[in-house]
A and B are shown apart, each in its own frame.
Chain A
């Protein structure tokens, strides 16, 4: 039975359902100490007095580190992948705090309880500095930069222009101008950040157990910043309790903890608590786009200009700073639509907030903006939003390109749109909506489309793109089991299952005899991203497939030599090599592998008894569109008595190519949609104008629950692919397109009130403000 395409039960589930997973906080090492941080209570200020002596003297305290101490023990933190102006930063602040939660001192003690007690004994005083809390302050050249070694709080600017913008606007019947904004939100995995650093003074080896998406990325950065030889630096990652982009970052705490372990010669654990997490682990989004759209009365979109500002908080993200994502926004903003002239100016600004981090589809502002704009165009012209989309969609023809360059041959956006509207029964809904309005009930429908280069068409990724593709290692064990070592670092995606499905099919072994290994930098091939960016489906899978094929070739060559038969006449079924159609000559893989391992000298001439393979997948053979994408549609009812929004239906039509495990794909989509719903209706990271952080608990930062997230109907289009790896990324799409879908639906519901939805966050009070039921400032 072929495993690929089947809803195979997950390998991971037995351990997680029985409480036998291995998360970083589960680790208890002998002599382990515990760290806690003193964090800044103010947004911006100079540390004028810091006395840690009482804390150092407290019983159970082993060390207290200040910024000055850490500066001696660490090089400046610098990512090899940074873009834009980068200040000199150390693990703890050296003189200035720049956001609420900034790292002032670190205590290492016998227990976390004792460490927190000692944090409370540190005597610290600050002199307030003026805060930079919004775009205007950050863009104001008279406001001093947050970092003395930077010229400005504008840390990065870029422009992308394609086609003839002036001609497009000159030809337009109308120009629609609007500024759309996306509020600050956060990834908020249920497992917070954390690591255990274990320095062995005898061997000089530093082992770091970390909840990370990228063990290799973390190892590389630690080696550089801590001057730790890479042969004596190992990062281990087992189960990770969700990340959504957050744990692909490397944080200043990640340097502090290993430094302390190296200094003290003992294991040191730091597990972020939820208050720290919400305040200081990093935040996402917070962008605005001032857009101008040039259209004809018939609804043709001729031109688009956009000016993007992104608020990245104080410190640059690592390894990818916020600037990395503005380029993707500029690239994808026109989406799967025809535009003749396009320009996008981007700016990244620094403010006194927590660091910008990637969060599931970090560039999603492009979809929110584009799809909101299309609905606004439709409303302005009195056209149907579905028709405006249809008029302007690219067909996926051979010559079709995004105006920003990449080809989109074979994209299925139109089919997705048609199927979504059919499934939700769009005409019937419009009739129902009309009738409901007559009764004073306000229903709305929203739809939105996205495409994502996961992995993107070939010309976007020559030689395997900026990572040069991805490798995997496979090894046939003496008992016939297959060990697959992936460079992916899963944290909920089920790669131990999906990669095993692929390897089982490729090798011809039972699914149960494949073991997928990840998260040990001593074993895994290098991959700076680990798992993230919807890359696993293509790159992780491709690497396992080409490596397994190589190993299979080796095995078949040996068996062919032994049986004196051509390898092309052999098959491997259920772990047994046999000549096709000739019974009685079976060679179980266990026998073959045992013989080759114990007596490699018996390998037939010209064959390789070393039953391992490590191949690099560069995607050169894949000939599909390279684009994941889809259309979502939802129906809402707005309660004008309360401002509450009820989601009555949510339909997803999604094309991520061939599906390895439909249950896992559906889970990825639904999880993303839930986060998108959270962003629109429940979640917001609030600061006041002084920079005070206002959401320190789960009573303030509202994650949606099972009672708020509706059932999500999913239709798959597995667009015909190619001769290579036909799996495309699916992790981010739900979160990319859901906010646009839902805001469009709420806007549609409020259309009778002339509501103009320009902000993504629509809590009840804001819904009522938009409806004109309560006045401005109600939210």
Chain B
């Protein structure tokens, strides 16, 4: 099997690697680029732990081949922090004690980043729907919904949407 060259920008850094055609994007990011913040939870596209942004869209990295991202731009959880400063989403998630074991975290974070960057101001029900493609086994989700709601409020404003959650966040943070 001959190697195929993949040139890709990840978190603003250009990489070039030779890979087998069958190599998944998750394995490429984690093992070839050594960006292990993106996690592998199921390798069949259900759990969402490997969610990354491909040209701005949230996608499952386990359902893409590395050869398919040649020339594209990817963002992973490692790219959110700027100059030692947490992204507002990360701050909100920390403030709301959103996560426990941290394994599903990268997927939720990248799913939520895409949502924030679209300018969304979802209601709690809409947000629960948006996040339902990511599985968490620790939290029962309430803290994650609260954390993302809080980030939405801080970044995109209330929009009449997430105020119920924001109240719940206040309760949680108090």
Interface, chain A (partner B; CB < 8 A): 7, 9-10, 12-21, 23, 25-26, 28, 113, 188-192, 239-242, 244, 271, 273-274, 491-494, 663-664, 666-667, 670-675, 697-699, 703, 705-709, 711-712
Contact = CB atoms under 8 A, between A and B. Distances in A.
Interface string B133-157: 1111111111111000000000000
Dominant SS among interface residues on chain B: loop
B106 A19 contact: yes
Given A667-B138, A698-B135, A19 B36 contact: yes
Interface string B62-79: 000000000000001110
10 contacts: A20-B78, A25-B30, A113-B20, A242-B103, A242-B138, A274-B41, A670-B141, A674-B140, A697-B46, A706-B128
A705 B141 contact: yes
B93 interface: yes
A671 to B, nearest CB: 5
B141 A14 contact: no
A670 B143 contact: yes
Nearest to A708: B132
Given A23-B39, A273-B43, A241 B103 contact: yes
Contacts of B2: none
Contacts of A703: 135, 137
Given A13-B94, A23-B103, A18 B31 contact: no
B100 interface: yes
B81 A18 contact: yes
Given A10-B94, A19-B76, A697-B44, A188 B142 contact: no
A697 B44 CA distance: 8
A670 B139 contact: yes
A19 B136 contact: no
A675 B137 contact: yes
A705 B142 CA distance: 11
Contact of A671 (B39, B41, B131, B138): B138
Interface in B29-52: 30-31, 34-44, 46-47, 49
Interface string B88-117: 001001110101111111100100000000
A26 B38 CA distance: 10
A189 B142 CA distance: 18
A190 B37 contact: no
Shortest 3 CB-CB contacts between residues of A and residues of B: A19-B37, A241-B103, A16-B102
B81 A7 contact: no
Contact of B137 (A7, A9, A19, A242): A242
Contact of B86 (A10, A17, A666): A17
B34 to A, nearest CB: 7
Contact of A190 (B49, B131, B142): B49
Contacts of A9: 94-95, 97
B83 interface: no
Contacts of A189: 101, 103, 137
Contact of A712 (B20, B42, B142, B173): B142
A492 B102 contact: yes
Nearest to A491: B101
B100 A671 contact: yes
Nearest to A112: B27
A672 B106 CA distance: 22
Contacts of B43: 273-274
A706 B172 CA distance: 18
B46 A14 contact: no
B105 A17 contact: yes
A15 B37 CA distance: 9
Contacts of A663: 97, 143, 172
A671 B43 CA distance: 24
Contacts of A192: 41
A703 B142 CA distance: 15
Contacts of B168: 711
A18 B102 contact: no
Given A19-B106, A670-B140, A492 B49 contact: no
A698 B42 contact: yes
Q: Which of A26, A192, A667 has the most CB of B within 10 A?
A: A667
A699 B35 CA distance: 28
B90 to A, nearest CB: 4
Contacts of B44: 274, 697-699
Interface of B: 20, 22-23, 30-31, 34-44, 46-47, 49, 76-78, 80-81, 86, 90, 93-95, 97, 99-106, 109, 127-129, 131-145, 168, 172-174
B137 A188 contact: yes
Contact of B39 (A12, A191, A244): A191
Contacts of A10: 94, 97
Given A25-B40, A274-B44, A667 B141 contact: no
Contacts of B77: 17-19
A26 B76 CA distance: 15
Contacts of B105: 16-17, 21
Contacts of B23: 113
Contacts of B86: 14, 17-18
Contact of B42 (A12, A13, A18, A274): A274
Nearest to A241: B103
Q: Which of B127, B136, B143 has the most CB of A within 10 A?
A: B136
Given A14-B94, A709-B141, A712-B140, A492 B101 contact: yes
Contacts of A15: 102
Contacts of A493: 100
B97 A190 contact: no
Given A7-B173, A17-B109, A19-B35, A667 B46 contact: no
A25 B41 CA distance: 11
B132 to A, nearest CB: 4
A671 B140 CA distance: 4
A664 B139 CA distance: 10
Contacts of A707: 128-129, 132
Given A28-B31, A113-B22, A242-B137, A190 B104 contact: yes
Contacts of B22: 113
Given A23-B36, A667-B143, 7 more contacts: A28-B34, A274-B41, A492-B101, A493-B100, A663-B172, A671-B139, A709-B141
B145 A191 contact: no
A325 B4 CA distance: 54
Nearest to A663: B97
Contacts of B30: 25-26
B36 A26 contact: yes
Contacts of A708: 132
A710 to B, nearest CB: 9
A192 B49 CA distance: 12
Given A13-B93, A492-B102, A20 B37 contact: yes
A16 B90 CA distance: 10
A711 B142 contact: yes
Nearest to B147: A17
A359 to B, nearest CB: 11
Contacts of A191: 39, 41, 101, 103
A670 B131 CA distance: 17
Nearest to B41: A190
Nearest to B80: A18
Given A18-B81, A19-B38, A671 B137 contact: yes
B78 A17 contact: no
Contacts of A671: 100, 137-140
B133 to A, nearest CB: 8
A428 to B, nearest CB: 22
Contact of B135 (A7, A190, A670): A190
A25 B138 CA distance: 19
